[in-house]
């Protein structure tokens, strides 16, 4: 099962790979699970404390160009069955969640990397195996948490056409393809449950400001955070048109202001700052490095 690793001072990708039993750092750096990290760190020799890297299961190698996982010889969607054994723990999952997962499982291919975690080790033998591959109990439970909250808001879940990668770390959630981004934006703006998120600490997926992210206003517990990029931003470029929906462990919203933007609690802002502060400093350092490079060109 894959795990996450937070980069510490003095770490290099080579050291991290060796520590986890990999001979070549590229087995980690080039793994699909680290596509966002790789996009943010195009130079593998420059990584920073606070960066989060997925350490893949050592037995699951990167798919080759002709392997089922890459779509070269994968069955078509019509040949994949979503039947589950009666004894399967997934058979009790909500029908609308299973329907979305089944649709994603059937449509996975080279160009449509839906339910991608399930295909990293090759073509799953069954729908049940695919669901078991999503990252173990932590990530599958995170998927259920997100669904439970989303399903509690009438009309929200139908916007989620296909599910991409799942994750569980600083937040819990998944990337998704939206049935209609424009209508979803209007839905969130009209909802009393959501406000437009102001990027107080400039986390990466909020960099475009309140034009692309919404937070759920919940009293005393973690709420949904939905990001719908106007364009395919750098951290969401893996699958064209995908967005992200997740639950942040901190709750920073205390209400919705008259202009539709969020108001935040002081404790929530501090909590959020702990999560994204390293990212703010990292971006400042990179900006300074680029300026220095121009000076010495």
Q: Each residue of 182-222: pLDDT tens digit?
A: 888 899 999 988 998 876 655 555 555 556 788 888 876 77
Domain extents for the chain?
A: 1-62, 88-297
Question: Which of the 8 DSSP states describes residue 166?
Answer: E
CA–CA distance, 198 with 177 (Å, rounded to integer)? 23
- pLDDT tops 70 at residue 41: yes
pLDDT at 246: 77
pLDDT at 71: 36
- pLDDT tops 80 at residue 248: no
Q: What is the mean pLDDT of residues 98-111?
A: 90
* Neighbour count for residue 146 (Cβ, 10 Å): 25
Question: Which of the 8 DSSP states describes residue 167?
Answer: E
Question: Which of the 8 DSSP states describes residue 193?
Answer: T
Q: Go through the chain and tell me how many residues it has.
A: 297
pLDDT at 48: 80
Superfamily per CATH, domain 1-62: LysM domain (3.10.350.10)
Angle among Cα 166, 40, 150 to the nearest 5 degrees reads: 30
Average pLDDT, the chain: 77
CA–CA distance, 26 with 28 (Å, rounded to integer)? 5
**What pTM value is reported for the model?**
0.64
Q: pLDDT by residue (tens digit) across 11-26?
A: 888 889 888 888 888 8
- The string of DSSP letters for 218-270 reads -SSS--EEEE--SS--GGG-SSTTEEEEEE-SS--EEEE-TTSBEEE-HHHHH
pLDDT at 59: 56
Q: pLDDT by residue (tens digit) across 66-81?
A: 333 333 334 444 479 9
pLDDT at 166: 85
pLDDT at 212: 77
């Amino acid at each position: 099962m894959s795990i996450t690793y937070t980069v510490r001072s003095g770490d290099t990708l080579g050291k991290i790979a060796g520590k986890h039993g990999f001979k070549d750092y590229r087995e980690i750096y080039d793994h699909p699970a680290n596509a966002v990290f790789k996009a943010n760190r195009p130079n593998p020799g420059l990584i920073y404390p606070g960066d989060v890297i997925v350490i893949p299961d050592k037995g699951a190698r990167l798919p080759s160009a002709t392997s089922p996982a890459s779509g070269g010889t994968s069955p078509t969607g019509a040949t994949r069955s979503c039947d589950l054994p009666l004894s399967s723990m997934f058979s009790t999952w909500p029908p609308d969640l299973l329907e979305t997962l089944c649709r994603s499982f059937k449509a996975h291919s080279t160009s449509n990397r839906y339910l991608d975690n399930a295909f990293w080790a090759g073509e799953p033998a069954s729908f049940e195996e695919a669901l078991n591959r999503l990252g173990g109990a932590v990530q599958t439970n995170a998927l259920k948490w997100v669904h439970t909250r989303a399903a509690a808001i009438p009309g929200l879940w139908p916007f989620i056409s296909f599910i991409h990668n799942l994750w569980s770390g600083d937040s819990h959630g998944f990337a998704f393809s939206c049935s209609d981004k424009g209508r979803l934006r209007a839905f969130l703006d009209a909802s009393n449950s959501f406000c437009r998120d102001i990027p107080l600490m400039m986390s990466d997926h909020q960099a475009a400001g309140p034009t692309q992210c919404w937070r759920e206003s919940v009293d005393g517990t973690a709420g949904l955070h939905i990001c719908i990029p106007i364009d395919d931003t750098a951290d969401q470029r893996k699958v064209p048109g995908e967005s992200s929906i997740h639950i942040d462990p901190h709750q920073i919203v205390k209400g919705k202001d008259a202009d539709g933007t969020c108001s935040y609690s002081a404790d929530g802002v501090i909590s959020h700052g702990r999560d994204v502060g390293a990212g703010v400093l990292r971006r400042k350092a990179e900006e300074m490095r680029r300026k220095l490079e121009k000076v010495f060109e």
